[in-house]
Amino acid sequence: MMLTKYMFTGCFLLCSSFLLAQKKKEYKITTVAFYNLENLFDTENDPITFDDDRTPDGKDHWTKAVYSDKIKNMAKVISQVGADVAGNSPAIIGIAEVENRKVVEDLVNDPSLLSKAYGIIQFDSPDRRGIDVGLLYQKALFRPKNSKIYPLMLYNHTTNKRVYTRDQLVVSGYLDGDLIHIIVNHWPSRRGGEARSRYKRNKAAILNTKIIDSLFAIDPYAKIITMGDFNDDPHSPSVRKILAAQSDKDKVRLKGLYNPMAKLSKKGIGSLAWADRWSLFDQIIISKSLLHNDYTSYRYYKAGIYNPEYLSTPKGKYKGYPFRSFSNGSYTGGYSDHYPVYLYLITQKK
């Protein structure tokens, strides 16, 4: 069938109108982030945990002045993650290495964050160092439905005694009415060597997988974000094989996971550095439903590492590494030995 002049003109006008309508669509950008705060302890001596060094009379001379400066620095960073694109600090941010609820309350009440009215979800974990994970959320943007902690049961291979470590925190809630499930992790460290400690992180991955599977059992299309300091890279067995987090979006099946940090890792980009090597232990991994192209609800847009110049060590042997707050036995005035990581979720404005 041949197009007449009038039919062609009508088609052209229709297509032009459609394209114009598409261009007029506006999208809301929201930041979800994770930040390891590098031993955010208060100055009080907790008799239950091993925090004696982080007291005014302890080895680290952790005074109120030092603590206040550390709080100020952490709040500054959180306030700026994603703000250049989203126009706001993170709607949701997972945190690690916080001693208790008090330090988190001091953090959200810092002048840099006070106007954001962050809510707090934090539980004390059995970790011997006394550090926990937690979740901050802007009350105007996210409404928690429920929260729960899952203990990681680990046992020493030699003594068969329990190894006490961080719980995994699960928070379900509504981001602008969109139900999202968030898991905050801080998996066991590589202390004693990567190979020797690998079983601990594999156990953490198994627990994480069970949590995710339980959410999928209720809803195969659940929007799930598992984030944290995994103490493993995206290509490590715990993440790549046990969690089965894919580096290619097209390979993610229903009830599967996508790891946007994997491509960054392949480029040699990291969130922390040690012994002249970059690692990407800090990751945000998402479920299949956040990858769809229907933007009537929140979908994944992009992910990254927040590493402006001021967060890097300015000089010396560790120049260019994350500007940690404590080094060589004293407070440096820095920030953390980890960079924050983030992702942007977008949805069509209604």
What tokens does 191 get? 């202390």
CB 181 within 8 A of CB 171: yes
Output the CA torsion 25→341→286→293 (10° steps).
Answer: 20
Whether 189 and 231 have beta carbons less than 8 Å apart is answered as yes
Question: Where is pLDDT greater, at 48 or 260?
Answer: 260
In this prediction, residues 304-320 reach a mean pLDDT of 96
Place of tokens 């590492």: 305
Q: Is the pLDDT of residue 4 over 60?
A: no
Quick: pLDDT tens for 179-212: 999 999 999 999 999 999 999 999 999 999 999 9
pLDDT tens for 99-131 read 999 999 999 999 999 999 999 999 999 998 899
Beta strand segments in 41-89, E: none
| Residue-wise pLDDT tens digits, 208-251 | 999 999 999 999 999 999 999 999 999 999 999 999 999 999 99
Tell me the mean pLDDT in the region 258-279: 95
Query: Which residues have C-beta within 8 Å of that of residue 74, sequence separation ≥ 6?
Result: 35, 37, 40, 107, 110, 335, 336
CA 186 to each of CA 9, 133, 208, 243: distance values in angstroms, whole numbers, following the listed order: 61, 7, 11, 15
According to DSSP, the residues that pair with 178 across neighbouring strands are 175
Task: Quote the CA–CA distance of 288 and 184 in Å, as a whole number.
Answer: 18
pLDDT band at 50 (very low <50, low <70, confident <90, very high): low
Distance CA 238, CA 234 (A): 9
* Structure token digits, residue 277: 């090597």
Find, among 306, 335, 315, the residue nearest to 323 by Cα: 335
Q: Which three-class secondary structure state does DSSP give residue 279?
A: strand
Q: Above pLDDT 70, what percent of the chain?
A: 91
| Mean pLDDT, residues 25-42 taken together | 95
- How many helices and strands (H and E) does the chain possess? 7, 19
For residue 278, report the phi and psi dihedrals to the nearest 5 degrees: -90, 140
What are the angstrom distances between the C-alpha of 198 and each of 69, 306, 322, 338? Answer: 35, 28, 25, 21
| Cβ–Cβ under 8 Å, residues 280 and 322 | no
Tell me what the mean pLDDT of segment 35-56 comes to.
83
Q: Are strands 92-98 and 132-138 parallel, antiparallel or unpaired?
A: antiparallel
Amino acid (one-letter) located at 350: K
Q: Confirm if 287 and 256 have CB atoms less than 8 A apart.
A: yes
d(CA 58, CA 63): 9
Exposure b/e, 78-104, CB count within 10 A at least 16 = b:
bbbbbeeebebbbbbbbbbbbbbeebb
What does the DSSP assignment read for 110-140?
STTTGGG-EEEEE-----TT--EEEEEEETT
For helices 64-80 and 101-108, the axis angle rounded to 10 degrees is 60
